[in-house]
Each structure stands twice: as C-alpha cells, then as structure tokens.
Structure 1
Amino acid sequence: MRIVIARCSVDYIGRLKAHLPLATRLLIVKADGSVLVHSDGGSYKPLNWMSPPARLSAAPPDDTDAKAGIIDVWTVQSAKSDDRLVIRIHEHIHETSHDLGVDPGLVKDGVEADLQRLLAEQIHTLGDGYTLVRREYMTAIGPVDILARDADGSTVAIELKRRGDIDGVEQLTRYLELLNRNPLLAPVRGVFAAQQIKPQARVLAADRGIDCLTLDYDAMRGVDNSESRLF
C-alpha cells in the first residue's frame, strides 16, 4: 500500500464528471489497483476513487500545467471502461509504502453458529427443567436450530438470530407447522431467540403463540457478569 499526502486537485472523467479543487488530501494506492482520495473529514468514505481493476501512471506536467504549479500528474485508468481519475499534484508533503501481505479477512464474533452452540450448552437459559434434544434438527424445509424439551416433556423448537425480525418469525412458523404434523413430536411450541428482537417481530410472534427470548451473548460466553453491574 502506497500512502501519499499531497496538495492536489482531482478530476473524474467518464460517464460522470466531478472536480475537487486544490487542497491537501490523502491519496491511497492499494495493491489491488484501487486508488482512493480522502480528506480529513467525512469518516471512512473517500471523496473520490477508482475501483479495481485499474492502472496508475504518473507523468510530468505539460507546459500549461507546469505554469500552474503542477509538478506531477497521476492518471488512473479503469480497465473496464473509459473512466479515469486525473490527480494533479502541486506539492508532495509525505509518502510511504508498506507491504501489508495477505489479509485473513474478517472473523465475526457472535454469529448465529456461536449463539446456537452456547444456547445448546446452556439450555437452562430457556428455563428450569429444559433438556437438549439436538442441534440442527433436520426437517424437509431445512434445519431447526435447536430442538429441546421443557420441564413437562413437551417439544420446543428454537430459532436463533443475531437480530430478530419478522422474517425469522415467519421461518419459525413454517418449522412449527411442519413439526406439529409429526405425532412423535406434537405438540411443538416455538421460541424465537436473538440478541436483538425488533418490536414488529415481537408482535407477530405473540400473535402466533411464539415466545421471544433476548440473549446476552457476553454473559453466555462468560465475559460479562450481570451481578457485578451497577445498573
């Protein structure tokens, strides 16, 4: 990755035209060919950019540009279209390059698989007397996240989401309709469990006789002790 701080103007030329007047900006040239133009505001979003595949070429200014104080002209040409980004540099303030290597990618914590594993291990979260039947209980329309039995021995189907919305309730409704056709399991009731449940989902779940359960992921994995909280 090449990082340049420079006083420059920027023109995007192609299907759309855009102009950034002369100012001090951060220019980022990535190994994948993308070039991004940032200011000291606007959060993470660049002011302008060229997506890969693209080719960057640098050339000395022509006589007109040189008289205007330009010392370097970058042209970033898209490989898929005629679009190009032209960066006219008036002053190089700082430049550095780093080889970042291959990024392993984002590893998400608290995904549905983690919630499923933790709730299966802590099935008592649902209430006293609950026992686990199995995770990923397969049906003809897909797997139910967790199948359990309550203290009375009745079957309970649990659908897990990180963020619970109406679609999740609809999904659980379809599972319940199918499971209740099985005389070995019926009657089967449902529990919709998530870290966050939208109000509309709660209303729909209540209308269909489905219980809602909000999961505290940090507490379940033992990094948050609710008894030590002041509030």
Structure 2
Amino acid sequence: MRLVIARCSVDYAGKLSAHLPSATRLLLVKADGSVSIHADDRAYKPLNWMSPPCTLKVGDDGVWTVVNKAGEQLIITIEEVLHDSSHELGIDPGLIKDGVEAHLQELLADRMEVLGAGWTLIRREYMTAIGPVDILCRDAEGVTVAVELKRRGDIDGVEQLTRYLELLNRDPHLAPVKGVFAAQEIKPQARVLATDRGIGCVVLDYDAMRGIEDDKLRLF
C-alpha cells in the first residue's frame, strides 16, 4: 500500500463530473490497483475513488491520471507532497468473529427452527469468491436461503449480505436464493434497507437459544 499526504485538487470525469478544490488530503493506492482520496473526517469513507481494475499514470507535471475499464478518469493534480511511503501489508487473514457471533452461528445451525418450521441446514460458512456466508439453508418450501449473522445488525451487514446474494443467485444450482439478516439487535436503518431489498430480518435471543431462562419478573 502506498500512502501519500499531499496538497492537491481532484477532478472526476465520467458519467458525472466532480471537482475537489485544492486542500491537503490522504491518497491511498492499494495493491489491488484502487485509488482513493480521503479527508480528515468522514470516518472510512473517501471523498472520491476509483475501484479496480484501473490504471494509474503519474506524469512529470505531478498529475496522477487514474483510468478504469469504462474510460472514466480520476485526475489528481499534486501541488505539494508532505509524505510518501509504501508498505507491504501481506495477505490479510480476514475478519475473525468474536465469541458471541461465532456461538450464535453454531447455535442457529443446530436450531434451524428459530428461523421457521421445516427449515434445514445446508452448510455453515458456505464459501464464495468474496467470503463465507454464515449459514446456507433451505426454508420449508425448499428455497435456498443465505443467512448473515451479527451481534448488532447495521447497514454494513445488509450490504454484505446483498453482495453474497448477488453472487449466489448466479449459480443455477442454488438460485433463487433469498436472504435473512439475523442479529441480536437490528438498527432501524438496517431493517428499512433490508426490507427494501427483499431481505428478511430476524432478531435472535442469545440467552433463549442457549437455554437460559429469563430471570425477569413476569405476571403469568
């Protein structure tokens, strides 16, 4: 990965056009060829970027030109370089689920009835080209269902499941594949997005799945 902190302006030319006036920004050039421009806010989201496959050409005049396969261009005009370094990160081992999330997956695989009567497990950690689906199963009607599990379900989890569904539905042996977003807590925005995309939502009671009695006072 190459990290460059520079004063620069940025122009995007494609289906739309966009301009970032001169300012000090962080430029990331990753091993996959992607280039992204970041400010000192907005968390992880870049101001602008070019996803791979794309090519980067650096001119003698300090202008970076990034072109993707569609011919769209990201033109970065460097005015002053404050930092420029490259680092070899190696192969990332991927996200390791915490104990509760991993246990949720194990419990749900053994208790498919939590999702509905007649549901059956196909496989846990069903591998795809972009990562493993937590649970692949079939509902009572025999339709394939991909289940994404989280402790706290937010929009990123719905986006992740959406990518899995797009890929799985290309497989004629599995399609059509439905999605279920399951978590101990699902944020309202995530539920709205999931519903809009035809993805079901299930709130999981971790203690109940472990067979732990609710110690709250009841009137019945």
TM range (shorter): 0.5 to 0.7
Q: 1:162 to 1:228 in 2, by over 3 A?
A: same
Q: Secondary structure at the match of 1:212?
A: strand
2:149 pairs with one of 160, 163, 169: 160
**Displacement over 6 Å in runs of 4+:** none
2:206 pairs with one of 217, 221, 230: 217
- Contact kept? 1:110, 1:217, Cα under 8 Å: no
The answer to whether 1:145 aligns with 2:97 is no
Q: Secondary structure at the match of 2:190?
A: helix
Taking structure 1 as the reference length, the TM-score comes to 0.51
The answer to whether 1:183 aligns with 2:172 is yes
Partner of 1:122: 111
Q: 1:228 to 1:189 in 2, by over 3 A?
A: farther
RMSD: 2.2
2:120 pairs with one of 120, 131, 137: 131
Deviation at 1:230, TM superposition (A): 3.7
Deviation at 1:111, TM superposition (A): 1.7
Partner of 2:183: 194
Taking structure 2 as the reference length, the TM-score comes to 0.53
Q: 1:124 to 1:227 in 2, by over 3 A?
A: farther
Partner of 1:207: 196
The answer to whether 1:169 aligns with 2:173 is no
CA offset digits 1:110-167 (Å, max 9, x no partner) = 6210100000010110001100001000000000000000111110000000000000
Letter in 1 for 2:201: C
- Contact kept? 1:164, 1:195, Cα under 8 Å: yes
Structure 2: 5+ residue stretches without partners: 1-96
CA offset digits 1:149-189 (Å, max 9, x no partner) = 01111100000000000000000000000000000000000
Question: For this pair of structures, how many residues does the alignment match?
Answer: 124
Structure 1: 5+ residue stretches without partners: 1-107
Of all paired residues, the percent bearing the same amino acid is: 77
Q: Secondary structure at the match of 1:111?
A: helix
- Contact kept? 1:118, 1:220, Cα under 8 Å: yes
- Contact kept? 1:159, 1:168, Cα under 8 Å: yes
Q: 1:118 to 1:229 in 2, by over 3 A?
A: farther
Please tell me whether Structure 1 or Structure 2 has the larger radius of gyration of its CA atoms.
1
